[in-house]
Amino acid sequence: MQTHNNFVRSLFVIIIFSIIYGIIAFNLYLIQIQQNTFFKDLGEKQYNITIQTFPQRGYIYDRNNNAVAINKDSFAAFILPKTLTQKDALLKFLQKHFALAYERFEQYNNKHFMFIKRNLSDQELECINNAQLCDIHILKESSRFYPYESLGPILGITDVDNHGQFGLEMLYNKTLQGTATTYKLKKDAKSHHFYFSKEMMQQGNQAAAITITLDGILQHKFQTILQETIAQHGSVEGAALSMDPDTGEIIACVSYPTFNPNDTKKLNMEETKCKPISNCFETGSVIKVFAALAALQEGVTTLDEEIDCENVKETYIDHLRVRTVYPCGKITFKEVMQYSNNIGMVKVIKRVGTDLYDTYTAVGFGSLTGVHFPGEQKGFVNHPKNWSAYSIQSLAYGYEITTSLLQLARAFSLLINGGYLVTPKLIKNNSPTQSVGPLFSKKTLDDMKEMLLSNMQAGCGTKANVADYTTYGKTGTANLLINGQYDEDRHLYTFIGAIEKDAYRRVIVCYVKDSKRATYASQISAPLFRQLAETSILHELINK
């Protein structure tokens, strides 16, 4: 009996333990085999994390390898609305110092994350640090700093996410930004920093730097001179550009009014425009250079041909009124340019006819230059099929045609470089200079140079002469179009010119809009050209 009881007890214990071990074995089967994938993934999530590292945005350098766009840290303040510990104190603080964030707070009450403000100023950051609220966290973000403020319209700016907004920052955004590299790290469940292994999952592209053709220091000097000229004459707007006529490299490109790319809290979009490239205007008498080019190339006149300018300020040619500033009698065509006589010019250009349009378009007016700058305007040249009776004379002295400073510089370059129309460049790279030509005969170009030289010696351009340097140039004083009518008291003063000595050549073009009192380009833009040219010489040749 006892033996039987012992047997039953033993059997009972065996059965109980078998059941327990069976359950354990079954659980093990479930965990290790049936739900293997689930627990493996759960474990991997605890131990493996994926991170992305973004490259620092590439720098931008000028032609002398000075950094003109660099990276800096900016700070953003954020809160986690669902985990606030001092809500009342926080709201009071936001109401006092960050009113916009306070207004938005209601919408974000149930969200995990809310920015208070991004791109904090030094004062705002100090204010937050002094408040010592543990609910406000600071995040470091990347942004840009521009050491040369005058380059703002060319370089553009980046937004709060460090993406280019306009200018070269936008055009080369992908190159400057690069792409993220993804890594897989193996960590233990508790450690935050330490990892056991690091595996690259996806290689990103490194951010690349770009080098521009502009000279940052010369750009600043040009800006200062332009602003002084504008202040002196009470003008409203101005721009200037310097270009290498052989390579097409743009050395300086300034605008006024302009903006500070390091302070973009209040941005006036008009001030962000790169005026030498984006603004087109009726040029006035500077266009006579290219009208004369057409006349000489077509062989309808010569430098020494006597033209009867009738010694009057106003006359009628084919029943259409033509006016000029300085009355002249019978003078040579060279002198017609010297004195910028409209009557003489119209008489000659009428012989050119519709070929004038071909010359204007051949030198690049009315089309994009190929500089590929965002916002570039191509201007306008009135097509012969739309010509009225006035058109030929308007086109002869700079109306019914709009051009940008860059187009003028490019067209003037071909007079200096042997007749080649070069493509302007803003980025310095090893690609060869793109040009078309020679577009005009050597005789025509030599005659043009002679004409432009005489203009500097005895004509309207005498105040633009640069001592010891061969200077070519032409002034232009165009009436401004105000409310659909030309205002004879308000003008745009332009100068296009070039300096040359030995191997050094520069084409410099500039304009100033309006002045306190009506005057001529010989009093405003010609001296401006001289100052810019002398500054270029000092900076590029002497102060090197």
Partner 1 sequence: MTNKQLLFLVALINVIMMFLLIYKQNKIIKELYQLQQLHEKKNELLEKNKELLLQLHKNTQLSKIEQIANNNFDLQRMTLKDVSKIPIDTPPIDTSIEEPHANT
Q: Select the span of 85-93, 144-152, 229-237, 264-272 touching partner 1 (CB under 8 A).
A: 144-152
- Whose Cβ is closer to partner 1: residue 403's or residue 465's? 465
Contact of 265 with 539, CB cutoff 8 Å: no
Q: Is 504 in the site for partner 1 (CB under 8 A)?
A: no
Instruction: Report in angstroms how near the CB of residue 543 gets to partner 1 at its nearest.
Output: 8
Q: Is 466 in the site for partner 1 (CB under 8 A)?
A: yes
Instruction: Report in angstroms how near the CB of residue 195 gets to partner 1 at its nearest.
Output: 7
Instruction: Report in angstroms how near the CB of residue 226 gets to partner 1 at its nearest.
Output: 14
Q: Which residues contact 504 (CB under 8 A, 6 or more apart)?
A: 537, 540, 541
Rounded CA-CA distance 255/471 in Å is 24
Rounded CA-CA distance 541/395 in Å is 38
Q: Select the span of 9-17, 141-149, 243-251, 515-523 touching partner 1 (CB under 8 A).
A: 141-149
Alpha-helix runs per DSSP H in 273-404:
275-278, 288-298, 333-338, 342-352, 355-362, 391-396
- Whose Cβ is closer to partner 1: residue 145's or residue 504's? 145
Contact of 460 with 496, CB cutoff 8 Å: no
Q: Is 298 in the site for partner 1 (CB under 8 A)?
A: no
Instruction: Report in angstroms how near the CB of residue 53 gets to partner 1 at its nearest.
Output: 11
Q: Select the span of 108-116, 193-201, 429-437, 445-453 touching partner 1 (CB under 8 A).
A: 193-201
Pick the binder of partner 1 from 47, 70, 184, 237 (CB under 8 A). 70
Instruction: Report in angstroms how near the CB of residue 246 gets to partner 1 at its nearest.
Output: 23
Contact of 60 with 176, CB cutoff 8 Å: yes
Instruction: Report in angstroms how near the CB of residue 72 gets to partner 1 at its nearest.
Output: 5
Half-sphere exposure of 179 (CA within 13 A, CB side): 5
Rounded CA-CA distance 404/77 in Å is 44
Tokens found for residue 64: 């002398």
- Whose Cβ is closer to partner 1: residue 224's or residue 377's? 224
Q: Select the span of 15-23, 64-72, 246-254, 308-316 touching partner 1 (CB under 8 A).
A: 64-72
Q: Is 334 in the site for partner 1 (CB under 8 A)?
A: no
Residue type, 99: A
Q: Name which of residues 71 to 130 contact partner 1 (CB under 8 A).
A: 71-73
Q: Is 189 in the site for partner 1 (CB under 8 A)?
A: no
Q: Select the span of 95-103, 188-196, 363-371, 428-436 touching partner 1 (CB under 8 A).
A: 188-196
Q: Select the span of 82-90, 119-127, 146-154, 321-329 touching partner 1 (CB under 8 A).
A: 146-154
Task: Map 99-134 to HEC letters.
Answer: HHHHHHCCCCCCCCCEEEECCCCHHHHHHHHHHCCC
Q: Is 190 in the site for partner 1 (CB under 8 A)?
A: no
Instruction: Report in angstroms how near the CB of residue 185 gets to partner 1 at its nearest.
Output: 10
Cβ atoms within 10 Å, residue 286 = 28
Question: Cα dist. 349→21, 281, 299, 329, 396 in Å?
Answer: 111, 21, 11, 18, 6
Q: Select the span of 35-43, 217-225, 394-402, 404-412 touching partner 1 (CB under 8 A).
A: 217-225
Q: Considering Cα of 501, then 446, then 525, then 307, what sign does the dihedral take? A: positive
Angle 294-298-302 from CA coordinates, rounded to 5° = 85
Q: Considering Cα of 302, then 303, then 305, then 309, what sign does the dihedral take? A: positive
Pick the binder of partner 1 from 33, 269, 467, 503 (CB under 8 A). 467
From residue 149 to residue 178, what is the string marking binding to partner 1 with x (rule CB under 8 A)? Answer: x-----------------------------
Contact of 210 with 176, CB cutoff 8 Å: yes
DSSP state of 212: B
Q: Is 209 in the site for partner 1 (CB under 8 A)?
A: no
Q: Is 224 in the site for partner 1 (CB under 8 A)?
A: yes
Contact of 272 with 152, CB cutoff 8 Å: yes
Q: Select the span of 67-75, 285-293, 400-408, 516-524 touching partner 1 (CB under 8 A).
A: 67-75
Instruction: Report in angstroms how near the CB of residue 477 gets to partner 1 at its nearest.
Output: 26
Contact of 508 with 499, CB cutoff 8 Å: yes
Rounded CA-CA distance 533/120 in Å is 42
Pick the binder of partner 1 from 212, 343, 349, 537 (CB under 8 A). 537
Pick the binder of partner 1 from 47, 48, 63, 67 (CB under 8 A). 67
Contact of 474 with 288, CB cutoff 8 Å: yes
- Whose Cβ is closer to partner 1: residue 156's or residue 216's? 216
Instruction: Report in angstroms how near the CB of residue 220 gets to partner 1 at its nearest.
Output: 5
- Whose Cβ is closer to partner 1: residue 228's or residue 446's? 228
Rounded CA-CA distance 430/343 in Å is 48
- Whose Cβ is closer to partner 1: residue 29's or residue 196's? 196
Cβ atoms within 10 Å, residue 351 = 14
Which of these, 471, 496, 425, lies nearest to 281 by C-alpha position? Answer: 496
For partner 1 (CB under 8 A), the number of binding residues is: 22
Helix (H) or strand (E) holding 251: strand 250-256
- Whose Cβ is closer to partner 1: residue 70's or residue 481's? 70
Contact of 495 with 525, CB cutoff 8 Å: yes
Tokens found for residue 78: 């954020």
Q: Is 534 in the site for partner 1 (CB under 8 A)?
A: yes
Pick the binder of partner 1 from 21, 39, 113, 196 (CB under 8 A). 196
Q: Is 500 in the site for partner 1 (CB under 8 A)?
A: no
Q: Is 138 helix (H, G, I), strand (E, B) or coil?
A: strand
- Whose Cβ is closer to partner 1: residue 216's or residue 379's? 216
Q: Is 147 in the site for partner 1 (CB under 8 A)?
A: yes
Contacting residues toward partner 1, per CB under 8 A: 67, 70-73, 145, 147-149, 193-196, 217, 220, 224, 466-467, 534, 537-538, 542
